[in-house]
Structure 1
Amino acid sequence: VIMCAHFLRDNKKMTGSQCTAVITYSSQITKHNGSLQQYVHNPHLILSKEAVNTEWDNFELLLSLIWSD
């Protein structure tokens, strides 16, 4: 998350404040390296619909920019 957000910010695809928001939110749910992999693939983590919707809202910009051309 951190590396991708910095890359997108440095390449003017994300603003500095958007980058900070994504990194700040990700630090609440990921380990120090900012990887979503261990979070997404954790079989012991079962989220409510509301939690999934909130997390999508917080990561939508980052994921959309990563998958865009």
Structure 2
Amino acid sequence: MATRWSLTSDCANPASLAAFWAPAPGCAEKPAPPGFGSREERFAHHEVPEDEWDDGAYLSDPEGNEFCLV
């Protein structure tokens, strides 16, 4: 039986860390949440201040395991 897991990493520059890990086998930027064309669209919908939009990065592998870099 496989175990599904997620990993969260606290870092100073999430976008740079995501760019570093993205080439890992099969990893890609996690798609926008359902109902939104982009994460930015979701942030605007929920009135998240624009200066907080780059406070995290999200990757996932083909099996749906999520890597959250904040």
Instruction: Provide TM-score, normalisation by structure 2.
Output: 0.27
Higher-helix-fraction structure: 1
Structure number with bigger Rg: 2
Instruction: Provide TM-score, normalisation by structure 1.
Output: 0.27
Q: Tell me: higher relative CO, structure 1 or 2? Use CA pairs within 8 A at least 6 residues apart.
A: 2
